[in-house]
Structure 1
């Protein structure tokens, strides 16, 4: 039961995590097979930096600052889409001419999580104005005010 609650308010895995992991593994593989032959290149230094990058990458998974991790992932996804030429639709997020979404816009675009007194996380319907939400567990009614 405690293991399930451990990841409750954590960010989790995303596309940036998988891309960084693949890049670190590729660099480690190249270092062990090809780069060790270059005379003035420190393979242990490269592997140390790769390991440190993996630790930072893993710390993103357990982060509780979900808005920032989401912003990083959206910026990465927009950058990758620009590289491979997929331009496409940038979803509902407003982007400026630099191609990334400012954190302030992400925080306002994403509704805050609302918890009932019983501890259940409630789904908030999208929309504006005041909305009544009923907890499916205890049946308590709550008035949600949108900005």
Structure 2
């Protein structure tokens, strides 16, 4: 019998999931030489941590608007920085291909570089898409 407690999206999103990366042009899974998929271990958008950062950003924009500073509240640069912070908070770890021949360990500074870099925008896009896919947080194992 179905019980709504079994559909707790917040709890599932807080457990996290491994979101495999795909080639930005071909859509093929990205894997290392041993066949291990590259990807990001992260929280879903329904997790308490992500919802908290979303509220923080919404409150910040609302406060600027209340003060009559609508332009500052909606500046693209500020919105992009909020997105980078959101993705950084949602990331628990990652396994990425080398960048310029070097392994890039997960740190908040490296996350800001990856998620904010125009050259790597596809990684942020794929991770964000994965965060929205509730089905992946109810299953075990990796998913694309």
Q: Smaller-chain TM-score range?
A: under 0.3
TM-score by length of structure 1 reads: 0.27
Q: Between Structure 1 and Structure 2, which shows a larger proportion of helix residues?
A: 2
TM-score by length of structure 2 reads: 0.28
Higher relative contact order, chain-length normalized (CA < 8 Å, sep 6+): 2
